[in-house]
Amino acid sequence: MLTVALHAALAMVVVAMALTVVRLVRGPQAADRILALDTLSINAIALLLLAGMLLSGAVLFEAALLIAMTGFVSTAALCRFLLRGDVIG
C-alpha cells in the first residue's frame, strides 16, 4: 500500500516539475523565472526524498540536503543580482 502511495506521489511531483519548467520557459519577467527555479529545486528535493523512501537509499537523502542548500543560496544570489546588479559588495 505504501509503494502505491509513493508511486502516485512521484508521478505528481514529476507533473509539478513539468509545469514548473513551462513557467520557467514562458515566464515574462526575471522574477517569474527565479521563482520557477526555486520551485524546481524544491520539487527536485521532493523527488529525491520520495525516491529515497521507495528505494531505501541513504545517498538520496544526502543529495536532497545538498540541493536544498545550493537552491537556497542560488535563489538568494539571483534575487540580490536582480535588485542590485551585483552579488558581492
pLDDT digits over 19-63, tens only? 999 999 998 998 899 999 999 999 999 999 999 999 988 899 999
What's the pLDDT score for residue 89?
65
Burial of 54: CB neighbours in 10 Å, binned 0-12, 13-18, 19+: middle
More confident residue, 72 or 9: 9
State the cell numbers at 7.
508511486
Its pTM stands at 0.86
Give the start-to-end residue ranges of the domains of the chain. Answer: 2-84
Question: Model confidence over 63-72: pLDDT tens digits?
Answer: 999 999 999 8
What's the pLDDT score for residue 27?
85
CA–CA gap between residue 72 and residue 3 (Å, rounded): 30
